[in-house]
Structure 1
Amino acid sequence: MSRNSTLVVQQAKAALNQMKYEVAQELGIQIPQDGYYGFMATRDTGAIGGNITRKLVQMAEQQLQGFRR
């Protein structure tokens, strides 16, 4: 199965990368400086991704609430 991770808005890449570091810091997880995630526990990378998704959904819900008013 191939994975398509192409960003729709290319400028979002920097914001998502920043969010990754912020979430990791909140969780107390150290992201490798060399960019190689092979030595990280799957549990840690999953926690980072899950929390990013949770934050993005929360942001989208807040935006949608603004449209309903």
Structure 2
Amino acid sequence: MARTNRTVVPESRAMLKQMQYEIASEFGLYGASYGGGMDTEFASELGTVGGAGSTGGTPYLGHLTSRDNGSVGGEITKRLIKQAEQSLFT
């Protein structure tokens, strides 16, 4: 059986992408490619700071390791589970 990573709720795609950039920013992962550790509060600004992001394209993030990217994914999962538990038990 083929494994697919399809989004069950397509409307959540933008929220998940924003969460991804916010967590990566908190971990300090994207700072090196955007001018040396620039800290930003809003995830939407990450794609517009210097490099390919300023032209509207996807910025090159080849300096990130699989471990770094996995830590972001793991944190997203932790936060989503925490939100679900809070909504169930409140």
Normalising by structure 1, report the TM-score.
Answer: 0.79
Mapped to 1, the partners of 2:72 and 2:78 lie a distance apart of 10
Q: Which protein has greater RCO, CA pairs closer than 8 Å, 6+ apart?
A: 1
C-alpha change, 1:2 and 1:35, in structure 2 (3 Å) is farther
C-alpha change, 1:30 and 1:3, in structure 2 (3 Å) is farther
Instruction: Give 1:1-69 correspondences, 5 Å limit.
Output: 2-30=2-30, 33=53, 34=58, 38-66=62-90
Structure 1's consecutive aligned runs of 4 or more residues displaced over 3 angstroms after TM superposition are 35-39
Gaps of 5+ in 1: none
Q: CA deviation at 1:5?
A: 1.3
- Give the aligned partner of residue 38 of structure 2: none
AA aligned opposite 1:44: D
Deviations 1:20-62 (A, max 9, x none): 0010011111187535555420110011001001100100110
Mapped to 2, the partners of 1:8 and 1:36 lie a distance apart of 28
Q: How many residue pairs align between the two structures?
A: 66
> Percentage identity across aligned positions?
41
AA aligned opposite 1:13: R
CA RMSD of aligned residues (A): 2.3
**In structure 2, the residue corresponding to 1:3 is in which secondary structure?**
coil
